[in-house]
Amino acid sequence: MSASNAAHSIIEPSTGARRFAGLLVILYAIITMVPLAWIVLTSFKSPDDAISYPPKVVFKPSLEGYCNVFTTRSRQTQEFIQTLGSPQGLCDNIARSRNMVVAGPSNYVPRFINSLIIAFGSTALAVALGTLSAYGFSRFRVPLKDDLLFFILSTRMMPPIAVAIPIYLMYRTVGLSDTRVGMILLYTSVNVSLAVWLLKGFIDEIPREYEEAAMIDGYTRFQAFVKVVLPQATTGIAATAIFCLIFAWNEYAFAVLLTSGNAQTAPPFIPIIIGEGGQDWPAVAAGTTIFLVPIVVFTVLLRKHLLRGITFGAVRK
Amino acid sequence: MAQIRVEALDKSFGTFHAVKAASFTVEDGQFLCLLGPSGCGKTTTLRMIAGLELPTAGTIWLGGEDVTMNRASARDIAFVFQLFALYPHMNVRRNIGFPLKCEGVGAAERDRRVVEAARILRISHLLGRSVSGLAGGDRQRVALGRAIVRKPKCFLMDEPLGALDTEMREAMIHELRALHDRLGATTVYVTHDQLEAMAMADIIAVMNNGVVEQVASPRDVYDRPASLFVADFIGSPPMNFLPFFGSLQTGAQAVWLGEREVAIPAAREALAESDLVLGVRPEHVRFSDRGMVRGEVYGSEYLGTTQIVTVTTHYGALKARSPSSIYFRTGESVGLDFRPDTLSVFDKASGRAIRTALYEGGAHG
């Protein structure tokens, strides 16, 4: 035993330890924020600033990247441009300064809408199916319950892309290739195993007495499920929804393989921007920044549940 | 309100036989306690009456109607859970009104009945509160409010006071009984606490290993136990047991414990020679210098007005209840006598009580 004359608590960390932990957290936050900040800054740079070395932190902001990601442009001669009337809006103005005219909208908006429909659609479906089956596994005597649960989990054990080729062939045969429905089904099937396992944990924590009380009060089991179980499972449902949404929103490999002209999502579209008329990094950064917004909003809206969800089961009321 | 009749109820979970041929009747307005140690099948029996479990065999009658296979929601009963099962996402008012909402009672009428139930339970001031902030006793009252608001055929309660602290439990025992008397509601109440059962019940059904061992008034269960288990489970300290070997003639008024004759209530049946057990409550053991059983004082437990004196004898340690004014020295030699008209005789092999002038027989005394 070392002779320590300072009284210390076994629960409260010492001031030094707390400062050190705080420093680590701040450091980690900075490291993770740098790429994000880089992307957001780049989206407001002009193409020249974007590729300058050393990188500029202070620069003259420009909306060229955002214009370029939403429009297609064509290069014209000075003489032709002078025959046109005054520029149509901000983007046309920027384009003309580079001897170009806006030819029309780009595919970014439809791709973005595809992403929204597919990601939120598959999340809703996975969470709905997951909640129902988790409830079933939690409350009823299901034959071979443990084997079934393991089987459901096992679908998550290999990387989804390992089955990409068979799925590509299957989808081509049944006509789901390059359709939103096809992508929703695919992402749902990947996410539903996660949803079942996460939600089963949450629903196991809800005492059966609640439903039993409701059923004695005259409600059917399904009514009891909707009125009593679901409101108490919101935390779990929200946490699960965020995990599912993040996967579906970010998914790239299947999207590249299975979608093209019709159901293409934003992730495979953004790199294509590079190919069109030089390496337009501000446009790529702008597309990425906008792409980040929905998931950030969704996570911020549900963050209360997410925090409680991550520590679920750790503290009982 | 209605009579509850349970006939030869059986329940198995796989290979585990939880309830074996349980039968009893709760008359309209009666308060029955299902009493027994944990795992004896009392909660399972209650859940079968509620419709939360379906029996493997047997019949349940509710107000003259066979409801054995009915859904819980179709039985018109109220159930109070040990952990209250108040819906945490609703406030007190909505919790109490929840059963009425299902029946399609209009908002005005619903509110009137919720307020009425709250008034009976003296929780009117809590109606707007969230249930998560309530103290144990108040939670229990809200759970009771949800039960009484609908005016069901009967109340089923599964250890409703189990989660409360001792002081609150004492108060709630009286409140529950008063509520029962006021509403005249047929009630089945599950507990493992004999004091609760004794204090509240009109009749007690003692269960052990899935078997209903005795259904009788608290007084009869205590004074005329139908089996060794009941005699041992009820009473604190439990009944003293003196094993002996002997036979019985109908009308016999004494048994032989070895060479000592002990007077008993007149036997109502004859029994060939077998292992028997004489049962005597601690308060029926008297200290007497000419007592037929001798032993020495092992120790005493002071309980205020009385004390429990443990005496080591030839028949094992016997406990006697005596006024605490008498002083016993450890190791002191004493003689013990038993009050003859209070003794029970049991058949050791089956555990059943022998029919005597005291105990007329049958599990349903």
CATH number at residue A239: 1.10.3720.10
Question: Which residues of B sit within 8 Å Cβ distance of A?
Answer: 50-52, 71-73, 75, 77-79, 81, 83, 85, 87-89, 98-99, 102-103, 132, 146, 150
A121/A102 same-domain check = no
Tokens describing residue B122: 């003296």
Does A32 map to a domain? no
Q: Mark whether A60 and A123 lie in a shared domain.
A: no
Last residue of a domain, one of A87, A106, A125: A106
Distance CA A301, CA A298 (A): 5
Asked whether residue A159 falls in the same domain as residue A250, the answer is yes
How far is Cα B54 from Cα B70, in angstroms, rounded to an integer?
9
Closest CA to B86 of B42, B156, B177, B147: B147
Specify whether A114 is located in the same domain as A203: yes
Which domains, and CATH codes, for chain B? 4-223 (3.40.50.300), 237-347 (2.40.50.140)
The reported pLDDT for the residue numbered A275 is 66
CA distance A218 to chain B (A): 4
Q: What is the pLDDT of residue A317?
A: 40
In a domain? residue A230: yes
* Residue A52 forms part of a structural domain: yes
User: What is the interface pTM, i.e. ipTM, of the complex?
Assistant: 0.80
Both A180 and A275 in a single domain? Answer: yes
User: What does the H/E/C string look like for B13-51?
Assistant: ECCEEEEEEEEEEECCCCEEEEECCCCCCHHHHHHHHHC
Residue whose token pair is 């296979």: B69
How many structural domains does chain A have?
Answer: 2
Binary contact (A232, B77; C-beta < 8 A): no
| Minimal-distance CA residue of chain A relative to B154 | A216
Q: Residue A313: its pLDDT value, please? A: 45
Q: Is residue A128 part of a domain?
A: yes
Q: Do A212 and B78 touch (CB under 8 A)?
A: no
Nearest to A231 among B81, B89, B102 (CB): B89
Q: Which two tokens stand for residue A35?
A: 């790429």
Give the contacts of B291 (CB within 8 A, at least 6 positions apart).
Answer: B334, B335, B336, B337
Q: What is the pTM of this model?
A: 0.78
Does A216 fall in a domain? yes
Query: Residue B109's CB: how many other CB atoms inside 10 A?
Result: 10
Torsion of CA A264, A267, A273, A274, to 10 degrees: -140
Could you read off the pLDDT of B33-88 as tens digits, one per residue? 999 999 899 999 999 999 999 999 999 999 989 999 998 888 889 999 888 888 88
Is the CB of residue B245 less than 8 Å from the CB of residue B276?
yes
Identify from B79, B96, B188 which residue to disrupt to test chain A contact, counting A C-beta atoms within 10 A and taking the largest count: B79
Per the CB < 8 A criterion, the answer to whether B330 and B324 are in contact is no
Q: Which residue has the tokens 């695919």?
A: A186
* A283 in the same domain as A217: yes
Same-domain status, A115 and A85: no
Residues of chain B with pLDDT under 50: 364-365
Task: Indicate if A102 and A119 belong to the same structural domain.
Answer: no
Considering only CB atoms, A218 lies closest to which of B85, B99, B132, namely B99
Regions of chain A where pLDDT drops below 70: 1-9, 275-277, 307-317
- Assess whether A164 and A81 both reside in one domain: no
CA–CA min distance B143, chain A (Å): 10
Residue A20 falls inside a structural domain = no
Residue A82 and residue A183 share a domain: no
Q: Is A260 inside a domain boundary?
A: yes
How far does B328 lie from chain A, in Å, by closest CA?
51
Do A241 and A297 share a structural domain?
yes
Angle at A209 between CA A204 and CA A211, to 5 degrees: 85
Question: What local confidence, expressed as pLDDT, does residue A88 receive?
Answer: 78
Same domain, A129 and A252: yes
What contacts B216, CB < 8 A, 6 or more positions away? B203, B204, B224, B226, B364, B365
The confidence score (pLDDT) of residue A3 equals 47
Task: Say how far apart CA B142 and CA B86 lie, in whole Å.
Answer: 8
Q: B51 contacts in A (CB within 8 Å)?
A: 216
Domain presence at residue A316: no
In Å, the largest CA–CA distance within chain B is: 78
| Structural domain boundaries enclosing A174 | 109-310
Amino acid at position B165, single letter: D
Q: Choose the final residue of a domain: A106, A128, A146.
A: A106
A286 within 8 A of A41, measured Cβ to Cβ: no
